[in-house]
Structure 1
């Protein structure tokens, strides 16, 4: 499973800093964690279990910033593998 343009658009937004968000996206359960700037940096996508964790795949965002600022020059999501919990 890869992150498509619609999910990338959702994850390009800024949210509250250092929070975890749980929701549904196109039939999948997703959870994502934000960094200190409110940018999603960890994503779990798959099927939510009864304990609230996700069995599926984990992605981590690599962000390259403009030196000396918080401006994002580029970013991409790396698949880190299967997970049985989020």
Structure 2
């Protein structure tokens, strides 16, 4: 199942490199991690527990770049399954 278009738009932005961002999207808790270029590459989506972890689903992003460039040619998110902590 693809990501919601508004969530995909939020995750297409650049953030600080190598950080964790905790947020809320349409009533769901989300946490995402960024790579060295500030691009979100791991997403946790579901319900946040008291210890800060999320029970729900994990997604990872595949990024393809233009040759000899940091410009993103294409990217997509893959659902890696349920997280039950």
Task: Indicate the TM-score class for this superposition, using the shorter chain for normalisation.
Answer: over 0.9
Report the Cα offset of residue 66 of structure 1. 0.3
Find the residue that maps to 1:7 and give its secondary structure: helix
**Change in 2 beyond 3 A, CA 1:2/1:27:** farther
Q: Which residue of 1 aligns with 2:63?
A: 63
Q: Which residue of 2 aligns with 1:40?
A: 40
Query: What is the Cα-based RMSD across aligned positions, in Å?
Result: 1.0
TM-score (norm: length of structure 2): 0.96
CA distance in 2, matches of 1:27, 1:78: 22
Report the Cα offset of residue 67 of structure 1. 1.0
Find the residue that maps to 1:80 and give its secondary structure: strand
TM-score (norm: length of structure 1): 0.95
May I ask how many residue pairs the two structures share in their alignment? 85
The gaps in structure 1 that reach 5 residues or longer are none
Q: Which residue of 1 aligns with 2:3?
A: 3
Q: Which residue of 2 aligns with 1:76?
A: 76
Query: Are the counterparts in 1 of residues 2 and 77 from structure 2 also a CA contact under 8 Å?
Result: no
The gaps in structure 2 that reach 5 residues or longer are none
After TM superposition, what 4+ stretches of structure 1 lie above 3 angstroms from structure 2? none
Q: Which residue of 2 aligns with 1:18?
A: 18
